[in-house]
């Protein structure tokens, strides 16, 4: 069943921190593990979830191997949710 999006998503709504500098400058390839890693937050609905029900995934990917080295899943996209996989990775 297809659910039509009622409102357009706008990531600029709400409080924002300061934007990080673009240190990669589109140079994504590397030959050293753990030198360059990227992350993103994705939202998903599954099963019989309604329009307002979502789960969020935040993986951290190593650009050397293409491997997901850490991740977190949550009901709410909070700062703690995003920082948890990063702190787990640092503590390994």
In a domain, 29, yes or no: no
**Is pLDDT of 19 > 90?**
no
Is the pTM for the entire model greater than 0.85?
no
4 domain-assigned: no
Give the pLDDT score at 10. Answer: 61
SS3 85: helix
What does the radius of gyration of the chain's CA atoms come to, in whole angstroms? 16
Q: Please indicate whether residue 15 or residue 37 has the higher confidence score (pLDDT).
A: 37
Q: Residue 66: inside a domain, yes or no?
A: yes
Domain for residue 16, yes or no? no
Nearest-angstrom CA–CA distance, 80 and 83: 5
pLDDT digit string, tens, across residues 38-85: 999 999 988 888 878 889 999 999 999 999 999 999 999 999 999 999
In a domain, 18, yes or no: no
Residues 6+ apart with CB under 8 A from 34: 62, 64, 69
Position 87 in a domain: yes
Domain containing residue 49? 37-91
Number of domain units in the chain: 1
Average pLDDT over every residue of 25-43:
92
């Amino acid at each position: 069943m297809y659910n039509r999006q009622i409102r357009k998503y706008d990531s600029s709504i709400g409080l924002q921190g300061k934007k990080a500098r673009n240190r990669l400058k589109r140079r994504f390839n590397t030959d050293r593990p753990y030198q360059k890693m990227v992350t993103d937050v994705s939202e998903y609905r599954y099963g019989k979830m309604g329009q307002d029900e979502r789960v969020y995934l935040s993986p951290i990917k190593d650009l050397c191997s293409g491997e997901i080295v850490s991740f977190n899943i949550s009901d709410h996209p909070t700062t703690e949710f995003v920082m948890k996989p990063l702190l787990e990775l640092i503590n390994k």
